[in-house]
Amino acid sequence: MAEAHAAVAFSFAITHEGFDINYDHEVLNLVWNSGVRSWKKRLARARNGVRNGVYPAHIQSLWLISAIALGLHFTGYQAPFNLTNRLLVHLPSNTINWQVTACFLAALVIWLSICFTMRYTLKLLLMYKGWMYESRAPGSRVSLPTMLWVAVVRVLSSWNKPGLYSFQGSLPRLPLPSVGDTMTRYLRSVRPLLDDDNYARMERLAKEFEQSIGKKLQWYLILKSWWSTNYVSDWWEEYVYLRGRSPLCVNSNFYGTDAIFMNLTNKQAARAANVVSLLLNFRRLIEHQELQPIMVQGMIPLCSWQYERTFNTARVPGLETDRIVHYKDSNHIVVLHKGCYYKMLIYHKGRILRPCELQVQIEEILKANATPLDGEEHLAALTAWNRSKWAEARNTFFSRGVNHVSLRTIESAAFVLSLDDEPFEFDLARPELLDNFGKKLLHGNGYNRWFDKCFTVCVANNGRVGFNAEHTWSDAAIASHMWENLIVDDLVSEGADAPVLGHLWEYIFGDDIYGYDESGDTKGTPDFQPPMPTRLSWDLTPCLSKIDEATMDVTKLINEVNLRILVHQEYGKGFMKKCRISPDAYIQMALQLAYYRDAGRFSLTYEASMTRLFREGRTETVRPCTIESAAWVKAMQNQSTTNDERVKMLQAACDRHQLGYQDAMCGRGIDRHLFCLYVVSKYLEVDSPFLNEVLSEPWRLSTSQTPHGQTPKMDLKKHPNCISAGGGFGPVADDGYGVSYIIAGENLIFFHISAKTTCQQTDVQRFSENISQALADIRSMFEQHMKDHPKPAKSITNGAST
């Protein structure tokens, strides 16, 4: 095996005849290349660190200022503040060499002053969020302060081509709301959910909390907000994700689908090889910080912190809490096929293998017809098990020997590639095929996905692809997020948490369409015989009972989950914007109406919003169930309400939703603040009836949008079929729904709806029908309104529209 081969790459022995040295040229060369690649990355990180540290200034401007300082000094002029002469006094002598040194030191001081002035000026400017609240109604004008702000920010942010992390030091910290403001917003959000008596009781609890223990807890949060980069993110990662003991499968991990309207190749090895190559190139862009940071309107940067752990990352189980382990480098991926695990090298002489070379390796695995070792086929079920049970089994059976080596090989891999032995199918006439597509990506059979890994790329035997991703390392907050970098009106319609996977997936689709020849193979011819994949060794006999138990548990878990992917083709973004309503708000109101018809009541609703306008920002919760949305839903159910009244009420509900989304993105949300107050109360061992009740409220409707078009590679006008169906996640509450949606085009929307089959009150088929009906009713409402209130026709005067 490869591990044994590496272990004897170099050895020596002392004999009566002297030293006996044995070494393997091939393995030592592999070690040498790995070391060279590692040092190159360290030097690149150091160079990028300097560049990011002085951004938005350019490091080359130092030489210009140095030349100016030298010119001023030797022509008899003084540098600002007479810095050159002041520094020269402290140098050993007044010779030409020391004068040049003094000029350079003066230039360095001036240059650093300019750098940090520009940097902190940009940081102060990025604290301004008034632009978010500017009216975007037709005919409205942008305020003068925002116009001036835009002009200055655009200059500073485009002064120099940024690297991936160039703006990190300029991003402001997440602001901490006051307790009073959060109480006001919270009480308003729960008003449609509570009757008068319960609302009065909640008002009393909130007032008691604000006037008593809330003040003390807030002071601790103020200290944390001053001391830490982000007062939420570390606690959110630890307590929401890493300390959770439930299985990752269904409960935490999320999935993404292929571009379902086109089939680039039917050859599994070719599609897998091209996708792997594109992923590795994306990893290289991250490591070299050559990936452009996402910029709202081309000038407002979003935090890039989450990209650091996209690859070479695994969640390691613990008895009480898990931990995220990120490896600085990895020269391999792990391939899972028919229950067998393979280590596949991805470098040759310091370069990434080309797609045609990767295809040779993958074809070797597909042709192997290997038989899994005892327990190997169901091994991944351990990663879908209860986290404490998996940790105990890991400590007992995987802490030494071949099991330890092989497990570390998986956890240190760039990512896992699963070559499925079944197709991922799609046919509009057979909706159950797309449902099965989603199920295979969400959970598979429970043991053909390594759920602990940063992500598993799944390639079907018909060439279709998808992914299953672990949630902790990056925000996919309940689903996927930023596949769309839209300006304000659509920016506030972004889902929150999987910006990185969305960006990565779009990058793949942007180039994947050009990667195949006429026969469906990858382009090009291998320059050499690539290294063949090697089987991982296991000794699983002692833990077969644990693997069997985990397999039974995960089988029960996936049988309790149902998934429906609704394809809505009647209309899409085009009609929604014609109604002058944010598409996200439009769909959220449709979901409120659908849920009310489905459950007969309103429920606490979760929509993920991003806070990446701030450093290390992750997510905040938007609460779409508002006083205004509840009033509109009731009006839709009341036949005596006129159509005009319904339209007016819907517009008011959408405006309120937009305001809630804007507040969440600007750090004025409700739930992350309450969560952090709760964490502080637990540290202080202080009991708060208000926080206990708030944090125990179930989210029976959990939603997230999956935008698209985040990168310029996604040219949908040129390739209209290059659009993914989005992705989804499991239900958050046992008696609720998980809904992810993607507005895929002018006349296309996908909904991924999940629920537990064990709950009698939920049914994904019924809820999907209610969503379709709600969308149809809203359309009819607006069409009637447009018919009753036709717009005056546009006239053309002097060549201009009036």
- Report the amino acid identity of residue 313: T
719 is catalytic: no
Helices (H), 469-498: 488-491
Which residues partner with 300 through β-bridges?
296
Of 502, 317, 312, 512, give the one whose Cα is nearest residue 416. 312
Strand 748-756 with 737-745, pairing? antiparallel
What distance in Å separates the CA atoms of residue 550 and residue 393, rounded to the nearest whole number? 10
What long-range pairs does 60-63 form, CB within 8 A, spacing at least 24? 61/111, 61/114, 62/107, 62/108, 62/111
Q: Among residues 526, 465, 531, 521, which one has the least CA distance to residue 333?
A: 531
Tokens 């003040």 sit on residue: 215
Q: Which DSSP letter does residue 258 get?
A: -
Burial 697-715 (b: 16+ CB within 10 A, else e): eebbbbbbbbbbbbbebbe
Pairwise CA distance, residues 774 & 352, whole Å: 50
Residues 6 or more apart whose CB falls under 8 angstroms from that of 425 comprise: 433, 434, 436, 437, 462, 464
SS3 466: strand
Residue type, 459: V
Q: Are 695 and 407 in contact (CB under 8 A)?
A: no
Residue 383 and residue 367: Cα distance in Å, rounded? 27
Q: Give the 3-state DSSP-derived string for 698-736, with helices as H, strands as E and coil as C.
A: CCCEEEEECCCCCCCCCCCCCCCCCCCCCEEECCCCCCC
C-alpha dist (Å) from residue 118 to 145, 573, 614: 19, 40, 18
Token representation of residue 506: 């779009």
**For residue 640, what are the contacts with CB-CB under 8 A and spacing of at least 6?**
none
Tokens describing residue 583: 């598409």
Instruction: Say which amino acid occupies 708.
Output: H
Q: Positive or negative, the Cα torsion across 25, 31, 33, 35? A: negative
Residue type, 538: W
Pairwise CA distance, residues 214 & 235, whole Å:
18
Residues linked to residue 727 through DSSP beta bridges, in sequence order: 256
CA pair distance 293, 185, nearest whole angstrom? 33
Cross-strand partners of 702: 606, 738
Q: Token digits for 13?
A: 């022995």
DSSP 8-class letter at 524: S
Quick one: which H or E segment has residue 197? helix 196-211
Task: Collect all residues with Cβ–Cβ distance below 8 Å to 112 and sequence separation of at least 6.
Answer: 54
The DSSP bridge pattern shows strands 18-23 and 10-15 to be antiparallel
What separation in angstroms does the CA of 385 have from each of 238, 249, 390? 19, 8, 6
Q: What are phi and psi of 48, to 5 degrees?
A: -65, -30
Question: Taking the mean position of all CA atoms in its chain, how far away is CA 214?
Answer: 32
3-state class (DSSP) for residue 801? strand
R_g over Cα of the chain: 29
464 DSSP assignment = -
Point out the catalytic residue in the list 378, 443, 471, 752: 471
Q: Quote the CA–CA distance of 636 and 593 in Å, as a whole number.
A: 8
Which residues does the annotation mark as catalytic?
A: 471
